[in-house]
């Protein structure tokens, strides 16, 4: 058992490979010189080792190069996909929707019974109106809590608060938005900006 294990071990296989490689190198490089001299001259051990490992390194390098050429298209595609995934989104330079456009969007969503989107569009119309009037400049980083604080000095503040609180429900709750909730938001917006609703002939 011990002899079988030794012959099957990695060290034994490397030793056999080294021995065969040394014999092959001797036959290739030094056969003629030995025949001419007529002596049993032995190649230095260090020279055989150097030649053997140089050939091993050359073979590994060649195999690595072939593997690189085979896999490089797939590796490049993988890194390209990662770069596209990790790249931050480009900032949008599209002009913001107008108050009238938000109101029309709200009306369309209401007709489709998408009350969540209908209420959100009314909220955005109110913020856009405040921005257009330079009352509260619209900022993407501003939270609903900040807007609640800022609208306290506006009239009618309760109408703005109604729209903001409804928007908070949209963002932080999966509760269904009913038609009654939309009607209350629509009435709140009527208090804020009745002329816009009349100018585009929208009725809930």
| Dihedral over alpha carbons 131, 135, 140, 145 (to 10 degrees) | -140
> In the chain, which residue ranges form alpha helices assigned H by DSSP?
2-8, 10-37, 45-86, 99-111, 115-132, 144-150, 157-172, 179-192, 194-199
Q: What is the pLDDT of residues 61-74, one digit of tens each?
A: 988 888 888 888 88
Residue 55 CA to residue 49 CA, distance in Å, equals 10
Q: Which residues, 6 or more positions from 36, have their beta carbon under 8 angstroms from its beta carbon?
A: none
**Distance between CA atoms of residues 27 and 46, nearest Å:** 17
Give the separation between CA 63 and CA 67, rounded to whole angstroms: 6
Mean pLDDT of 123-141: 88
> What gap in Å lies between CA 155 and CA 188, rounded to an integer?
11
pLDDT band at 112; cut points 50, 70, 90: very high
The region of weakest confidence among 23-32, 70-79, 106-115, 173-182 is 23-32
The DSSP letter of residue 87 is S
Q: Residue 96 gets which letter from DSSP?
A: P
Rounded mean pLDDT, 154-161: 87
- Residues 71-98 pLDDT 10s: 888 877 777 666 655 454 454 556 788 9
**How confident is the model at residue 5, as a pLDDT?**
47
Name the pTM for this structure.
Answer: 0.52
What's the confidence (pLDDT) of residue 103? 92
């Amino acid at each position: 058992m011990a002899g079988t294990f030794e012959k099957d071990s990695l060290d034994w296989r490397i030793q056999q490979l080294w021995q065969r490689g040394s014999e092959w190198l001797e036959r290739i490089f030094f056969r003629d010189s030995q025949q001419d001299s007529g002596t049993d001259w032995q190649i230095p051990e260090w020279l055989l080792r150097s030649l053997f490992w140089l050939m091993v390194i050359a073979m590994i390098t060649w195999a690595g190069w072939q593997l690189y050429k085979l896999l490089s298209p797939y590796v490049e595609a993988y890194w390209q996909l990662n770069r596209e995934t990790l790249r931050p989104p480009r900032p949008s330079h599209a002009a913001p929707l107008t108050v009238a456009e938000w109101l029309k969007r709200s009306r369309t969503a209401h007709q489709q019974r998408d009350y969540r989107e209908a209420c959100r569009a009314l909220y955005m119309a109110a913020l856009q109106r405040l921005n257009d009037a330079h009352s509260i400049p619209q900022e993407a980083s501003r939270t609903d809590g900040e807007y609640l604080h800022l609208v306290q000095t506006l009239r009618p503040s309760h109408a703005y608060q109604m729209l903001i609180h409804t928007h908070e429900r949209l963002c932080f709750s999966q509760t269904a938005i009913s038609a009654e909730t939309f009607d209350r938001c629509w009435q709140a917006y009527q208090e804020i900006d009745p002329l816009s609703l009349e100018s585009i002939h929208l009725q809930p």
